[in-house]
Amino acid sequence: MIDEKILTRVKPGATVRVFEKVIEGDKSRTSQFEGLVLARKHGSEPGASFTVRATVAGVGVEKVFPIHSTLIEKVEILSSPRKVSRAKLYYIRGLSRKGVRQKIGMAQTNSLKGGKDSATEVAP
């Protein structure tokens, strides 16, 4: 379960790294997914979720993570948005990387290129 302090910072425009437990047969491992949060749905209800979008091998990939899932080990906030004027950032699907940087702000440049930002928080 994700810490409440981290959940308040998971909002559209934030860049996050989600550590998810993957069970394959009788073995389990931790998988990382890093990307931009497009949407946060249903507050903190039992069915609440957030959508993360990343570009993997030149192809846009989106994953929807349930907030109350036991398979999510932790969430790191890599950067927070400077200013986002929408609750859902679905229009980003049609933009280039440069267009995303211009719309969301320069605070996103390091994280979108794969760099690390100094403001990293980890949920236990």
Second-level CATH architecture of 4-114: Roll (2.30)
Residue 103's SS3 state is helix
Q: Does the pLDDT at position 116 exceed 70? A: no
Q: State how far the alpha carbon of 74 is from the alpha carbons of 47, 69, 84, 95, 124, in Å.
A: 18, 11, 24, 29, 6
**110 vs 79: CA distance, rounded Å:** 9
The domain limits of the chain are 4-114
Alpha helix locations (H) across the chain?
4-9, 97-104, 109-112
Question: SS3 breakdown of the chain: % helix, strand, coil, rounded to 5?
Answer: 20, 40, 40
pLDDT per residue over 84-111, tens digit each? 888 899 988 888 888 888 888 755 445 4
| 60 within 8 A of 52, measured Cβ to Cβ | no
Structure tokens at 2: 């994700």
Half-sphere exposure of 119 (CA within 13 A, CB side): 14
pLDDT per residue over 23-72, tens digit each? 999 999 999 999 999 999 998 889 999 999 998 898 999 999 999 999 99
Q: How confident is the model at residue 122 (pLDDT cuts 50, 70, 90)?
A: low
